Structure 1
Amino acid sequence: MQRFAWSLLLLVSAASLDAGEPIPSTTHELRESTPAPLTEGGIVLTFDDRNFDGWMQALPLLDEFGAKATFFISGKIDAVAIDAIQKLQAYGHAIGSHSVNHLKAVEYFEENSAETFMRREITPQLSEFQAANVTAVSFAYPMSRNNAATDEALSKVFRHLRTGKSIAANERLCEQDAFFVPAAKIGDHGCLHGKGIDFAPTRPDRTYEQIDGAFDRAAKNNEIIVLYAHRIAESGNGNFITPEALTRILQSAQQRGLRFYTFNDLP
């Protein structure tokens, strides 16, 4: 309750600066009904930005494997975004915040202030989520730019945060403890490190061997690992994972009996 009180106060203060009137916290409903502790290892599959077309096309594929994902949306929650959100939610997927302008939080905090970042990047989007009847209880850092100061500020609003972490080409993913959290302790970790899977399996840190090894560890130890990607497409510019690679990853998880969790499922 104390954490919610802080988040409500922060949102009300920021909204008052922008619009003159407070807005209700979009996190109230799920904060008041925090999910039960988890016991089984699994995968938290996430996708970022506004890649709606590819996400829509991949819905049957995700559904085939019973895979539920979290989609972190950036920008305005306009009619296009709302239409996509409704379709994603109809398939059982969760929605998270990815900020309004996709700014680097660390640099913005240092050059301006935490309060200005919240007022510019977080409160407007949460207000639009609220208007669209969407509850966003998680936030993904744009470009994985976070530190202790950003975590402290954003943890007052969101139940969980997601950042990213790289590994060297000669390192084994299954040996990197930062990516693995015991299922029973996931509620103690406000900010989770995600492993990128765009361009899998063509890069050394995200070959199928690397991913399979990570899934073996998660299954053996009842741990949870977070994965993130952006577009789902056969080719193109920017970050993307192909349907073929995504299928292979989903199959690997299914074969090991790993559950698919959304950020909304995490206590």
Structure 2
Amino acid sequence: MHRFAWALVVAVLSTPAYAGDDAPPTSNQRLSRTPKTLTEGGVVMTFDDRNFKDWIKALPLFDEYGVKATFFISGTIDARARDTIQQLRDHGHAIGSHSVNHLKAVEYFKEASPEAFLHREIHPQLKEFKAADVAPVSFAYPMSRNNAATDEALLKVFRHLRTGKNIAADKRLSEDNTFFVPAAEIAERGCLYGKGIDHTPSQPDRTYAQIDGAFERAAKNREIIVLYAHGISETGTGNFVTPEALARLFSKAKERGLRFYTFDELP
């Protein structure tokens, strides 16, 4: 690491501990468990980053199907974010943390330290969330970069973490046990693996047949599967899922009797 970078790390780590009004929010609420054990299979639908316009525009779609989702917000919790959060919560959705600068946790842990990552990426955002009357119980890893060390550090702050992984084009999603957790055991799994659904159904690992098969398994075995996307749009150049694809997904899950959980509802 360059001398300047090391100096920056030292400066971060030598910053005085939080005190008084600058203290990060207590983790009591985020780590406390809901008393009930889940028994129904279901879907945890999540969206990442700051696609505020898309999310608000799609609220009628969520309402039509009675779907509640978790929105993992990155960056500062400014006026625009607070307004979006209020509208999402008014419709029953949950809010999670996605870090301040969208940095890769594994690499940052190696270059600096767990404490430096929390100081830079987590605590400032949680302080802003607290000012907005939000206490996120879950965190989504940027770019799904996690390992045992990052999980251990972040599970001291959050009740659940979400990461993700790809599957080969010739593999069946329903056969990959990584993505399925028995509902009754969800409290024992701190970090959950989500399956990306951006650009459904145009990619081989997220065709309608792949997702339908995953729903069938989850319903049969009373398991929970986590899905994630970013924007919600008919067209675009980034990562997004179309309203049409979401509507089909919601409809098929409902047909299977699957419940849509938010991360706030997971014990």
| TM-score relative to the length of structure 2 | 0.92
| Partner deviation per Cα, 1:28-70 (whole Å, 9 max, x = no partner) | 3354462521000000000000000000011110111110000
Cα distance change on mapping 1:120 and 1:240 into 2, 3 Å: same
Structure 1 counterpart of 2:256: 256
| Partner deviation per Cα, 1:189-247 (whole Å, 9 max, x = no partner) | 00000000000000000000000000000000000000000000011121000001111
Residues 164, 193 of structure 1: 8 Å contact kept: yes
Distance 1:32 1:108 in 2: 28
Corresponding position: 1:218 with 2:218: yes
Paired residues for 1:130-169 under 5 Å: 130-169=130-169
Paired residues for 1:106-145 under 5 Å: 106-145=106-145
The letter of the residue matching 1:123 is H
Give the alignment's Cα RMSD to 1 decimal: 1.7
Residues 24, 124 of structure 2: 8 Å contact kept: no
SS of the aligned residue for 1:17 comes to coil
Structure 2 counterpart of 1:79: 79
Distance 2:57 2:170 in 1: 35
Structure 2 counterpart of 1:205: 205
| Partner deviation per Cα, 1:144-163 (whole Å, 9 max, x = no partner) | 00000100000000000000
Residues 43, 258 of structure 1: 8 Å contact kept: yes
Which ranges of structure 1 fall in alignment gaps of 5 or more residues?
A: 1-12
Distance 1:14 1:236 in 2: 44
Which ranges of structure 2 fall in alignment gaps of 5 or more residues?
A: 1-12
Q: CA deviation at 1:21?
A: 5.1
Paired residues for 1:27-106 under 5 Å: 27-32=27-32, 34-106=34-106
Q: CA deviation at 1:19?
A: 6.8
SS of the aligned residue for 2:217 comes to helix
Residues 15, 123 of structure 1: 8 Å contact kept: no
Runs of 4+ in 1 over 2 A off after TM superposition: 13-35
The letter of the residue matching 1:78 is D
Distance 2:153 2:112 in 1: 14
How many residues were matched structurally? 255
Distance 1:229 1:216 in 2: 21
Distance 2:108 2:159 in 1: 22
Cα distance change on mapping 1:30 and 1:15 into 2, 3 Å: farther
Residues 68, 260 of structure 2: 8 Å contact kept: yes
The letter of the residue matching 1:266 is L
SS of the aligned residue for 1:76 comes to coil
SS of the aligned residue for 2:17 comes to helix
| Larger-gyration structure (1/2) | 2
Distance 2:266 2:217 in 1: 20
**Which has the larger displacement, 16-25 or 72-81?**
16-25
The letter of the residue matching 1:232 is I
| Partner deviation per Cα, 1:164-185 (whole Å, 9 max, x = no partner) | 0100000000000000000000
Structure 2 counterpart of 1:9: none
**Identity across aligned pairs (percent)?**
68
Distance 1:173 1:190 in 2: 21
Q: CA deviation at 1:23?
A: 2.4
Distance 2:111 2:92 in 1: 39
The letter of the residue matching 1:42 is G
Cα distance change on mapping 1:14 and 1:134 into 2, 3 Å: farther
| TM-score relative to the length of structure 1 | 0.92
Residues 68, 93 of structure 2: 8 Å contact kept: yes
Cα distance change on mapping 1:26 and 1:77 into 2, 3 Å: farther
SS of the aligned residue for 1:64 comes to helix
Distance 2:14 2:39 in 1: 37
Corresponding position: 1:181 with 2:181: yes
